[in-house]
């Protein structure tokens, strides 16, 4: 079965050989065969297919790749958000209240919530999502969270080292022993990645190194939360360990930027966090000008960023972080794929997964130009229409 999608006013391929930031083709068409893209090009050159859909001149792009979320949790922290809007500062301490609510939730409650998020993501054009644990902080609870996350995505990250578990207060090194020992044993079979929150109030550079090296020794890829609330050694550690991505990067030194530019580590910016915590936005332009690969992700979680909208992140990146609309769209698709070290998503070309987003707009520039407006017309995931 093949499907021809034609009448595409602007097709974003993210193919560097086609030129420009997004490798766009105008008056374009594409062919989907089973779960893959079989052909892309000008509509006038399109081959025959079993079925034909007309995009009516709309823009079509790869589905969003949201490479950083924390979607397995109980409860919410709406009151904390309200307090921040009237002057309270964000602190990672709130994580512990979500830990209590998550431990109290049953598997079925967490599963139902995850199913709701999966629907919410598709409705907004996200076709790949990474999900971290980190609200369990015991061997049994972290195992539960990565196991449940693995039911909805293959991009599962063990973040047992989110903060020190309440039972280990004042004994952070003992908690790191647990994370690198029994917790890793229980969680590695369900996980692709290991992550750590390397920040004052969470884990030191040395503790973070222990966590990441233990994960890597078990075959997990490395990702890091760093430089969110202040300067620190997390970015340099991530680069040194060859992390796939270092995320947040709100506060960066010149050395951090130079190290990122000379590395293959993607810098994933999470503007929903700055929106929700009222911190200053990171300077994406400075990073891109230095040659750093930048991704955008939602960081969807109940504390620091409770949005799952990649379009909102794009609008913030353009309005507040110095990105062009094209750079922001690239970062939310191909950038996310790079952060997950995936070559089968984040692009539209022969052989890529047929994860496709048709907008209700003539160009992807509308994503920042019309913030908050539902611009998703159709979404294909693995070749099947899901919206
Ligand atoms: O990515 N920075 C650490 N962890 C999350 C926040 C979690 C929370 O506040 O619940 C983040 O922003
Ligand atoms: Fe996060």
pLDDT at 306: 98
Distance, in Å, from the CA atom of 46 to the CA atom of 30, rounded to the nearest integer, reads 7
Report the residue count for the chain.
Answer: 387
Query: How far does residue 273's CA lie from ligand 2's centre (Å)?
Result: 9
| Nearest atom within ligand 1 for CA of residue 299 | 1
Verdict on whether the full-model pTM lies above 0.95: yes
Handedness of CA 148, 152, 158, 159 (dihedral sign): negative
Chain center to CA of 333: 9
DSSP string for 76-123: --HHHHHHHHTTPPP-GGGHHHHHHHHHHS-HHHHHHHHHHHHHHHHH
For residue 33, what are the β-bridge partners? 2, 36
The residue whose CA has the least distance to atom 3 of ligand 1 is 197
Q: Which ligand is nearest to the CA of 272?
A: 1
Tokens representing 169?
Answer: 């207060």
Binding residues are 68, 70, 77, 135, 162, 225, 228, 299, 301, 303-304
The SS3 of residue 297 is coil
- In this structure, what is the dihedral angle of CA atoms 281, 307, 59, 338, given to the nearest 10 degrees? 70
- Cα dihedral sign, 337-332-128-376: negative
Nearest-angstrom CA–CA distance, 199 and 373: 35
Which residue has the least CA distance to atom 6 on ligand 1? 304
DSSP string, 173-228: HHHHHHIIIIIHHHHGGG-SEEEEEESTTSB-HHHHHHHHHHHHHTT-EEEEEESS
- What average pLDDT does the segment 315-322 reach? 98
Give the model's pLDDT for residue 93. 86
User: How many Å apart are CA 183 and CA 204, to the nearest integer?
Assistant: 19
Helix (H, G, I), strand (E, B), or coil: what is residue 360? coil
CA atoms of 119 and 242, how far apart (whole Å)? 34
Q: In whole angstroms, give the CA distance from residue 370 to residue 374.
A: 9
Question: What ligand 1 atom has the least distance to the C-alpha of 94?
Answer: 9
Contacts of 114 (CB under 8 A, 6+ apart): 71, 72, 131, 148, 149, 151, 152
How close is the Cα of 54 to the center of ligand 2, in Å? 39
Is residue 353 predicted with pLDDT exceeding 90? yes
Any atom of ligand 1 within 6 Å of the Cβ of 303: yes
pLDDT exceeds 90 at position 169: yes
Q: Give tens-digit pLDDT for 172-218.
A: 999 999 999 999 999 999 999 999 999 999 999 999 999 999 999 99
What is the number of the ligand closest to the CA of 197?
Answer: 1
- Percent of the residues in the chain that have a pLDDT greater than 70, as a whole number: 100
Q: Give the integer Cα–Cα distance in Å for 180 and 211.
A: 6
Nearest one of 212, 172, 216 to 226, comparing CA atoms: 212
- How many angstroms separate the CA atoms of 338 and 331, rounded? 9
Query: What distance in Å separates the CA atoms of residue 140 and residue 122, rounded to the nearest whole number?
Result: 30
User: 298: Cβ below 6 Å to ligand 1?
Assistant: no
- Please tell me if the CB atom of residue 225 comes closer than 6 angstroms to any atom of ligand 1: yes
What number does the ligand 1 atom closest to the CA of 273 have? 12
pLDDT number for residue 92: 85
Percent of the chain with pLDDT over 90: 99
Check if 6 has its Cβ closer than 6 Å to any atom of ligand 1: no
**CB of 273 shorter than 6 A to ligand 1:** yes
Longest Cα pair distance anywhere in the chain, in angstroms? 68
What's residue 35's pLDDT? 98
* Alpha carbon nearest to ligand 1 atom 8, residue: 303
The per-residue pLDDT for range 4-15, each reduced to its tens digit, is 999 999 999 999
Instruction: Map out the domains of the chain with their CATH numbers.
Output: 2-62+346-385 (2.30.40.10), 64-339 (3.20.20.140)
Residue 68 to residue 246: CA distance in whole angstroms: 10
The verdict on the CB of residue 304 being under 6 Å from ligand 1 is yes
pLDDT in tens, 88-127: 999 888 999 999 999 999 999 999 999 999 999 999 999 9
Please enumerate, by residue number, every residue annotated as part of a binding site for Fe(3+).
68, 70, 225, 299
Q: Which residues pair with 60 in a beta bridge?
A: 11, 358
DSSP 167: G
Bridge partners, residue 381, by sequence: 384
Average the pLDDT over 270-281 and give the result. 98
The closest of 342, 198, 191, 335 to 266, measured between CA atoms, is 335
CA 150 to centroid of chain Cα atoms: 16
CA distance 114 to 230: 31
Instruction: Find out whether the beta carbon of 160 lies less than 6 Å from any atom of ligand 1.
Output: no
Cα-Cα-Cα-Cα dihedral of 368, 317, 306, 99, to 10°? 160
Q: What is the mean pLDDT of the chain?
A: 98
163 Cβ inside 6 Å of ligand 1: no
Task: Please give the pLDDT value at position 264.
Answer: 98
pLDDT at 17: 98
Calpha distance 24→13 (Å, rounded): 6
Quick one: pLDDT at residue 348? 99
């Amino acid at each position: 079965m093949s499907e021809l999608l034609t009448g595409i006013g602007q097709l974003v391929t993210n193919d560097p050989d086609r030129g420009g930031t997004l490798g766009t083709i105008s008056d374009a068409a594409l062919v989907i065969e089973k779960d893959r893209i079989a052909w892309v090009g000008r509509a006038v050159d399109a081959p025959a297919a079993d079925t034909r859909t007309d995009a009516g001149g709309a823009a079509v792009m790869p589905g969003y790749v949201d490479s950083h979320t924390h979607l397995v949790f109980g409860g919410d922290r709406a009151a904390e958000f309200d307090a921040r809007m009237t002057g309270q500062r964000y602190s990672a301490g709130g994580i512990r209240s979500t830990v209590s609510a998550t431990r109290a939730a049953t598997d079925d409650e967490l599963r139902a919530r995850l199913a709701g998020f999966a629907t919410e993501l598709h409705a907004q054009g996200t076709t790949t999502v990474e999900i971290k644990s980190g609200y369990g902080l015991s061997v049994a609870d972290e195992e539960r969270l990565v196991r449940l996350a693995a039911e909805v995505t293959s991009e599962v990250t063990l973040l047992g080292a989110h903060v020190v578990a309440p039972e280990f207060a004042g004994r952070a090194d003992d908690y790191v022993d647990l994370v690198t020992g029994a917790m890793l044993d229980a969680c590695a079979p369900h996980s692709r990645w290991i992550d750590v929150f390397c920040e004052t109030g969470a884990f030191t550079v040395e503790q973070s190194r222990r966590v990441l090296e233990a994960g890597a020794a078990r075959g997990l890829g490395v990702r890091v939360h760093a430089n969110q609330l202040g300067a620190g050694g997390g970015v340099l550690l991530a680069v040194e360990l060859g992390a796939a991505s270092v995320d947040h990067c709100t506060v960066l030194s010149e050395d951090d930027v130079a190290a990122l530019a000379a590395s293959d580590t993607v810098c994933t910016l999470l503007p929903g966090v700055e929106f929700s915590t009222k911190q200053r936005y990171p300077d994406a332009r400075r990073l891109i000008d230095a040659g750093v690969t930048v991704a955008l992700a939602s960081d969807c979680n109940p504390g620091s960023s409770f949005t799952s909208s990649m379009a909102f992140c794009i609008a913030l990146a353009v309005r507040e972080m110095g990105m062009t609309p094209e750079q922001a769209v690239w970062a939310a698709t191909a950038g996310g794929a790079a952060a997950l070290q995936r070559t089968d998503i984040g692009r539209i070309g022969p052989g890529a997964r047929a994860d496709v987003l048709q907008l209700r707009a003539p160009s992807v520039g509308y994503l920042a130009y019309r913030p908050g407006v539902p611009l998703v017309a159709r979404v294909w995931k693995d070749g099947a229409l899901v919206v």
